[in-house]
């Protein structure tokens, strides 16, 4: 990998065009205490700080490319889909509002919102003034719920277009070749940060669900000619392992072709491990332990749906010796900490204490007459 190769990769992606929605490069810093404890060099790339609101996350990179196309097409309305507490959906709302477009959301209720107690990302969607439609999941995944309601979406889009509106449709997670290009650029940005610090990366860990982030990283790795790093995707939803790797490689290749590069991605370009626990948006006790561990060692919060499960997956592999001592490891924090304020069915036992830590009792201070 050379500086020239990074420049060439950026030039290919620049030709696709994007709108500036985030604050880049995102912060990149070392987790000193965990590094010392495990004898590695653990760094974190803070996509949770990508902006533009306090509640940023990794989807903003994708939306810069997607909403550029929407604007070029003259769209005034954006449709997107996800679970009720979807990070992608909330970030799409913020991005659409910044671009002067109206967000329309179809949300699968894996966890049923409570009347009069709207929380976390769903609350932010309401504050942003999105048009929200909640669909019963009836035991189906979000993807299955959306597939079952495809005719409903089509009729709604047709109605709006008959009224003179133009609709841009973004699938779950923004996982299209154009959306994934955002994380091809993110990989190039990470390599530039490593280069500026005189470092190389041995392992990169990320959460993967709808596969757009991992596919984009894979495409960026190929564009940049980085043959050294091992990219590991920690699966946070129920996926068929027989097809998921192929889906990631296929989307990576579509992204490479969109950027004018040779489609050469294969499942050998990344590694996968499932850390879904009981299921998507379902509490995972061991992951919750590591959410508390990261907070209590480095003061950083992750969520119980995406980044917390991915962080647990990385720590589990470090503890099992699947990371070489002395290696440089990067954890991609994909955001989503608003889920810490979501329904109890998602948060689980996060307010409990971990073995080996002192009890965290909440005590009432005695009254005081002075300030």
Distance CA 13, CA 186 (A): 11
Cβ–Cβ under 8 Å, residues 216 and 238: no
Phi and psi at 88, nearest 5°, equal -55, -45
Residue whose pair of structure tokens reads 């979000």 in the numeric block: 142
Chain centroid to CA 211: 10
User: Which two tokens mark 14?
Assistant: 């620049």
Burial (CB count <10 Å: 0-12, 13-18, 19+), residue 272: middle
Would you say 108 and 82 are in contact if contact means Cβ atoms under 8 Å apart? yes
Q: How far apart are CA 195 and CA 79, in angstroms?
A: 39
Q: What does each C-alpha distance from 19 to 187, 188, 261, 307 come to in angstroms?
A: 18, 18, 22, 26
End-to-end CA distance of the chain: 59
Burial 292-309 (b: 16+ CB within 10 A, else e): bbbeeebebbbbbbbbbb
**Would residue 368 show up in a list of annotated catalytic residues for this protein?**
no
Q: CA angle at residue 353 from 351 to 357, to 5 degrees?
A: 145
Q: Which helix (H) or strand (E) holds 43?
A: strand 41-46
Q: How far apart are CA 141 and CA 157, in angstroms?
A: 23
If DSSP codes are grouped into helix, strand and coil, which group holds residue 118?
coil
Region at 336 (left for phi over 0; alpha for psi -120 to 50; beta for the rest): left
- Residue 179: name the closest of 188, 189, 169 by CA: 169
Distance CA 322, CA 244 (A): 22
Catalytic residue among 86, 175, 307, 342: 86
Considering only CA atoms, which of 111, 158, 150 is closest in space to residue 134?
111
Q: Catalytic positions, please?
A: 86
């Amino acid at each position: 990998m050379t500086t020239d190769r990074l420049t060439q990769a950026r030039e290919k992606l620049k030709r696709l065009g994007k709108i500036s929605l985030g604050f880049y490069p995102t912060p990149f810093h070392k987790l000193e205490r965990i590094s010392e404890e495990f004898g590695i060099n653990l760094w974190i790339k803070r996509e949770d700080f990508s902006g533009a609101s306090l509640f940023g996350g990794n989807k903003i990179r994708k939306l810069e490319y997607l909403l550029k196309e929407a604007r070029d097409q003259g769209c005034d309305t954006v449709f997107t889909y996800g679970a009720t507490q979807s990070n992608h959906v909330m970030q799409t709302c913020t991005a659409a509002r910044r671009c002067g477009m109206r967000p329309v959301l179809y949300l699968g209720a894996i966890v049923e919102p409570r009347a009069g107690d709207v929380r976390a990302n769903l609350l932010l969607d309401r504050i942003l003034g999105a048009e929200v439609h909640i669909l019963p999941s009836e035991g189906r995944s979000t993807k299955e719920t959306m597939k079952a309601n495809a005719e409903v979406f089509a009729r709604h889009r047709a109605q709006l277009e008959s009224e003179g509106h133009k609709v841009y449709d973004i699938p779950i997670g923004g996982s299209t070749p154009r959306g994934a290009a955002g994380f091809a650029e993110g990989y190039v940005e990470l390599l530039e940060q490593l280069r500026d610090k005189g470092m190389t990366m041995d392992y990169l860990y990320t959460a993967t669900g709808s596969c757009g982030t991992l596919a984009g990283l894979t495409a960026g790795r190929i564009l940049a000619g980085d043959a050294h790093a091992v990219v590991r995707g920690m699966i946070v939803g129920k996926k068929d392992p027989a097809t998921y790797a192929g889906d990631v490689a296929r989307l990576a290749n579509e992204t490479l072709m969109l950027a004018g590069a040779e489609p050469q991605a294969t499942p050998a370009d990344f590694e996968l491990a499932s850390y879904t626990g009981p299921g998507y948006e379902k509490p995972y006790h061991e992951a919750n332990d590591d959410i508390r561990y990261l907070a209590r060692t480095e003061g950083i919060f992750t969520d119980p749906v995406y980044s917390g499960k991915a962080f647990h997956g990385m720590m589990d592999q470090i503890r099992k010796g699947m990371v070489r001592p002395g290696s440089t490891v990067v954890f991609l924090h994909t955001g989503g900490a608003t889920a810490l304020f979501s329904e109890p069915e998602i948060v689980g036992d996060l307010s409990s204490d971990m073995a080996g830590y002192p009890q965290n009792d909440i005590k009432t201070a005695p009254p005081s007459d002075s300030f």
